[in-house]
Amino acid sequence: MSIIIRRGPNDTTDSVIRKFQKKVALENVVQEYRDRQFHKTKSEIRQERRAEKTRKIMRAKGWENDTF
């Protein structure tokens, strides 16, 4: 799970940092770290998944009601 950024001849330090931040965000490194920081029981994981599903459903229903 290593992230490798190669600096091109025309890349500035800022552009390399931006590339690194994009790769970290795409690979969900920070989110995975936060998830593994504390132990979660199986029931907590199931509860979070269920809550996420209901949020998605409610969001979809909200968009349907706004469009006429």
**68 residues of the chain, pLDDT tens digit each:** 688 999 999 999 999 999 999 999 999 989 889 989 999 999 999 999 999 999 999 998 886 665 55
Q: What pLDDT was estimated at residue 2? A: 84
Find the domain containing 31 and state its range.
13-66
- Asked whether residue 31 is domain-assigned, the answer is yes
Domain annotation covers residue 7: no
Q: The whole model's pTM is what?
A: 0.54
Number of domains observed in the structure of the chain: 1
39 located within any domain:
yes
Residue 58 lies in a domain: yes
17-39 in b/e form (b: 16+ CB < 10 A) is: eebeeeeeeeeeeeeeeeeeeee
8 found inside a domain: no
Establish if 4 belongs to a structural domain: no
| Maximum Cα interatomic distance, the chain, rounded to a whole number of Å | 53
HEC readout, the chain: CCCCCCCCCCCCHHHHHHHHHHHHHHCCHHHHHHHHHCCCCHHHHHHHHHHHHHHHHHHHHHHHHHCC
